[in-house]
Amino acid sequence: MSPKAHFRQIGARVLFFFPFQLVLLHLKKNHLTLLCWLVFFGYITQNVGVKYGIPYVFLFPEYFGTANPWSFLLLGFSLGGFITAFNLFTVSLALPLLMGRQVSRAGRLAHEARQRVRPARIAMELELCQQLRPGKAVV
């Protein structure tokens, strides 16, 4: 096996690796959800919201002015809900990818061409019908 074929095989494996496909899907279609994750990680790494003390809410959450197990429980449930919602949204987007029904660009172009040709074909068929039955109106 030549080195070129080996690199192509590795490239194809990486390209069709499902987690890599999900990352590409998010980069193509989900800028808003990725922005939510970037803001969230900005809070955690203390790059965003330090002036207002937002990163400290994740380290020492308060509920009714005190940090107790209820505050950590609320923080955990809200973070779990955020992660669950993101994963469900990802699955709903990746379902065509999982089912193998991802339409290629060529397939989309062929479909659009058929959609453009259809009105012309209908007009041509109506003309033929009128020629075959000259006295009757065809709707």
Question: Across all residues in the chain, what is the average pLDDT?
Answer: 77
Q: Confidence class of residue 5 from pLDDT cuts 50, 70 and 90?
A: low
CA distance to 2, 27, 102, per residue, from 83 (Å): 44, 18, 25
**46-52: average pLDDT:** 91
Per-residue model confidence (pLDDT) at position 134: 62
The domain locations on the chain are 3-102, 104-139
Per-residue model confidence (pLDDT) at position 76: 92
Per DSSP, what are the bridge partners of residue 63? 66
pTM for this entry: 0.55
Q: Confidence class of residue 126 from pLDDT cuts 50, 70 and 90?
A: low
CA distance to 90, 93, 105, per residue, from 96 (Å): 11, 7, 15
